Structure 1
Amino acid sequence: MCVNLVNRNVEVFDCRGKKNNKAVEAFAVLIPRIVKAVQSSDKKKDFNVKQYDVSYVPMRALNTSGNDCGAYSLKFIECHLLGLDFSLVNDENIQEARHKITFDLWEAANDEALQYRMSTFKPPKRAPEKMVELF
């Protein structure tokens, strides 16, 4: 799914052709409530809590082996982000894409600067927040 906060739209990409209307619609109702909950108090009164529109992006059936969902997902996100045509992601080239993703992850895991940053990372402390009721 791709949530567009500006256009108030949820685009659903599913290469198996299934429509999970119940789950997606519930999510589309919840998004504006979450956004409103994090708004500053002066903007909350003017905020529209209307459900986001849901659209299903036409996808051809892919992933016949069932083992490449992660690779397909990453590549669809990449195409969407870069404005590329989704036809670039297909069963013929997904294996090479999996190898490239694997190599990129291996390369990052062996990067000394990244290893150091990861070993010294301390999560930020958060101030306790009051609970926000969304419904």
Structure 2
Amino acid sequence: MEEVSFHIMEAQVFDCGGKKNNKAVEAFAVLIPRIVKAVQSSDKKKDFNVKQYAVSYVPMRALNTSGNDCGAYSLKFIECHLLGLDFSLVNDENIQEARHKIAFDLWEAANDESLQYQMSTFKPPKRAPEKTVELF
């Protein structure tokens, strides 16, 4: 999981599996500013400086020792980030309970009659014709 900080131009990588995927992460760090530039208005785009983001790995020791909880860890880390909670609240001792809570919340949402009705009547918005965006 990555967190991108636009104001300090850094991508922080939370890798609880301990596998540094340097090639993929470095490619992503190069791509981020190009994407940001591509979505700028034309008057700002010409002065926008395209610079590679720095990459830092956040130490995540002794997590996900089973190797099967990446999804649950990702969701809980996102939740901690959004709520401003410390990441140390999520660990191998409580991840199974978190998985059960996530599963229950999904089951409960799937059986909610008003949500089922909203999903059955949903009409996606009409999309504007796609524009070609040059990233480089």
TM-score (ref. length: structure 1): 0.92
Q: CA offset at residue 79 of structure 1?
A: 1.5
Q: Which residue identity lines up with residue 17 of structure 1 in the other structure?
A: G
Point out the more displaced range, 98-107 or 73-82: 73-82
Point out the more displaced range, 125-134 or 50-59: 125-134
Q: CA offset at residue 10 of structure 1?
A: 0.8
Identity of aligned residues (%): 88
Kindly indicate whether the alpha-carbon contact (under 8 Å) linking 1:12 and 1:56 is maintained by their aligned counterparts in 2.
Answer: yes
What is the alpha-carbon distance in structure 2 between the residues aligned to residue 124 and residue 40 of structure 1? 24
What is the alpha-carbon distance in structure 1 between the residues aligned to residue 122 and residue 81 of structure 2? 31
Secondary structure of the residue aligned to 1:81 is helix
What is the alpha-carbon distance in structure 2 between the residues aligned to residue 93 and residue 61 of structure 1? 13
Which residue in 2 is equivalent to 1:122? Answer: 123
Q: CA offset at residue 6 of structure 1?
A: 2.7
Residues 72-130 of structure 1: per-residue CA shift (max 9 Å, x gap): 11111112222222221111111100010011111111112211111111222222133
Secondary structure of the residue aligned to 1:70 is helix
Kindly indicate whether the alpha-carbon contact (under 8 Å) linking 1:17 and 1:61 is maintained by their aligned counterparts in 2.
Answer: no
Which residue in 1 is equivalent to 2:26? Answer: 25
The 1:102–1:27 alpha-carbon spacing in structure 2 relative to 1, beyond 3 Å, is: same
What is the alpha-carbon distance in structure 2 between the residues aligned to residue 18 and residue 44 of structure 1? 36
The 1:121–1:7 alpha-carbon spacing in structure 2 relative to 1, beyond 3 Å, is: farther
Secondary structure of the residue aligned to 1:51 is coil
Structure 2 residue ranges without an equivalent (≥5): none
What is the alpha-carbon distance in structure 2 between the residues aligned to residue 76 and residue 47 of structure 1? 32
TM-score (ref. length: structure 2): 0.91
Secondary structure of the residue aligned to 2:23 is helix
- Superposed, 1:31-110 pairs within 5 Å as 31-110=32-111
Q: Give the root-mean-square deviation of aligned CA atoms.
A: 1.3
Aligned length: 135
Kindly indicate whether the alpha-carbon contact (under 8 Å) linking 1:12 and 1:57 is maintained by their aligned counterparts in 2.
Answer: yes
Kindly indicate whether the alpha-carbon contact (under 8 Å) linking 1:32 and 1:52 is maintained by their aligned counterparts in 2.
Answer: yes
